[in-house]
Amino acid sequence: MFKVAGIGHVLLRVTDEEVSKRFYRDVLGFAVAEQDPEHGGVFMTLGDSFHAIDLVKHPVGAAAPKPQERSLGLVHIAFKVPNYAALREAYTHLLDQGVEILRAVDHISQRSLYFNDPDGNGLEIYLELPNAVSLFPNGRGDDDERLPLTRAGEPLPAWLLEDWPDAAAMAKVERLQHRPAAE
């Protein structure tokens, strides 16, 4: 059996290539690797491969149906950050750019911010605990906790000001490590 090496890129149909290009470039930090006006499409990179996100205009543009919550297909694309300071910076940056953060969740194995791109495609920025796969040999359970949000110009929520993972987070990990495997 063959094994894939990773996820190469995601292709998104968008209502407006320029609007989406600005969002992924200016809000999320992607760079344009290539723009192909003849065949359509914007190929965007984070610098480690030629392209990670490809954008192509939907044939009917704004008349195309928007992604629907709870429908089949893609729910969100998740982008990993290297440390907690970067998650805090992402939170502030998103708000400063006028992006509505829909929710923040402590998944025990990671902390996540959820929001949408201009076409309503779900996106996530998260920080995962180092060695999360080995930390949760029996799974992480379903002990997710919604985290409070603030708005642009307001102080950051307390959970973003702490050092994470802290002792309480590691106590949750320890408890889950000794939980019996699900049958």
In order of their start, the domains of the chain are: 1-61 (3.10.180.10), 74-183 (3.30.720.110)
The CA distance from 52 to 17, in Å, is 16
pLDDT of residue 54: 95
pLDDT in tens, the chain (183 residues): 899 998 999 999 999 999 999 999 999 999 999 998 777 799 999 998 999 999 999 999 899 998 888 888 889 999 999 999 999 999 999 999 999 999 999 999 999 999 999 999 999 999 999 888 888 877 787 789 999 999 999 999 999 999 999 998 888 888 877 766 655
Which secondary structure element, helix H or strand E, spans residue 111, and what is its range?
strand 110-116
Q: What is the pTM of this model?
A: 0.92
Per-residue pLDDT, 142: 75
The helix or strand, by DSSP H or E, that contains position 95, with its residue range, turns out to be helix 84-96
Q: Using CB atoms within 10 Å of the CB of residue 56, give its burial: 0 to 12 exposed, 13 to 18 middle, 19+ buried.
A: middle
Q: How far is CA 128 from the centre of its chain?
A: 11
Nearest 5°: the CA angle 178, 179, 182 is 140
The pLDDT of residue 45: 96
Q: How far is Cα 24 from Cα 21, in angstroms, rounded to an integer?
A: 5
